[in-house]
Amino acid sequence: MALLFSMVSVAATASAAQITDGAKGSPSDKPAIIATAFASPLDKVWQAILKEAAIPYKIIDVQEGRRRRMFVDGQITLECCFAPEWRMRKDEQLTQLFSDPFHTSEIRYVFRTGQSIPVPSPTHLKDLRFAVVRDFSYMFEEYFGETIIANSPAEALRLVALGRAHLTEAAKVFFDFEMAKNPRPLELGDIADYKMLHVRVHVSRADLLPKLNAAIAAMKKTGRIRKLLGELSRQ
């Protein structure tokens, strides 16, 4: 997660038009269920989208290893912030919808300081040890050679800093966020990809999509999302 390889179409996921929730197709009035997440620089953006959309929700504490299964089972109904390519298991494609995109994220390879090398194509990854986050999907993982498992994106960075992995990949906004609060001997390498980020919605809560899309559109129009991301870059 070589500049801008082809992206998988959002059309691979279920269509909101095919879904109704509750008896007689009426939308559920229950709060959306959101799982606790890793500390992320996009948390403020996500909270602002929820507030703009006026969506009631409750937060449950979930270990990362259970998160994907609980979403498929409908025990989690909203998640942020995802590219569709990151959730492409067959059962996920049958149970997820995506909002309109709200941000394009630059994904970069990350190396230990002084040890970055060019990665002009994914085939160059086969001889490198890659730190991957448990239960995450990576677009070019079929090209990975040896991998080492991290329990969080921050831990993947730590494994590279310790020299236990040659590289990992991270959104630049997340890398900057982590390095500001916990500096490590790390540096950015080539761009691995660009990803359009969305809110992920369980099919049982398709009624939330219009609210989310309207909120995202309004925040884009007023520059609110751009302002929040600008504030992050200055932190």
Name the phi and psi angles at 78, rounded to 5.
-140, 140
What's the pLDDT at 95? 97
pTM of the model as a whole: 0.80
Cβ–Cβ < 8 Å for 79, 200: yes
Q: Which of 208, 198, 199 is nearest to 21 (CA)?
A: 208
Q: pLDDT tens for residues 42-88?
A: 888 999 999 999 999 999 988 766 888 999 999 999 999 989 988 88
Co-location of 97 and 153 in the same domain: no
Beta strands 96-98 and 147-150 are unpaired
Helices 172-181 and 153-161: crossing angle in degrees, nearest 10, is: 70
Helices (H), 54-189: 64-72, 90-95, 153-161, 172-181
- 22 sits in the region (left: phi over 0; alpha: psi -120 to 50; else beta) called left
Residue 4 resides in a domain: no
CB-CB neighbours of 99 under 10 Å = 26
Residue 174 resides in a domain: yes
Beta strands 57-60 and 32-35 are parallel
Co-location of 43 and 86 in the same domain: yes
| Distance (Å, whole) CA 192 – CA 121 | 9
Co-location of 16 and 80 in the same domain: yes
Residue 1 resides in a domain: no
Mean pLDDT of the chain: 85
What's the pLDDT at 72? 96
Co-location of 31 and 19 in the same domain: yes
What's the mean pLDDT in 193-210? 96
User: How many domains are there within the chain?
Assistant: 2
Co-location of 92 and 111 in the same domain: no
What's the pLDDT at 38? 58
Residue 5 resides in a domain: no
Co-location of 91 and 118 in the same domain: no
Q: pLDDT tens for residues 9-49?
A: 333 344 343 333 333 344 557 899 998 765 677 888 999 99
CB-CB neighbours of 27 under 10 Å = 14
Residue 3 resides in a domain: no
Q: CB neighbours of 86 closer than 8 A, spacing ≥ 6?
A: 1, 136, 137, 195
Co-location of 33 and 89 in the same domain: yes
What's the pLDDT at 39? 62
pLDDT band at 99 (very low <50, low <70, confident <90, very high): very high
| Distance (Å, whole) CA 231 – CA 228 | 5
- Report the CATH number at residue 227: 3.40.190.10
Q: Which domain holds residue 186?
A: 106-194
Q: CB neighbours of 63 closer than 8 A, spacing ≥ 6?
A: none
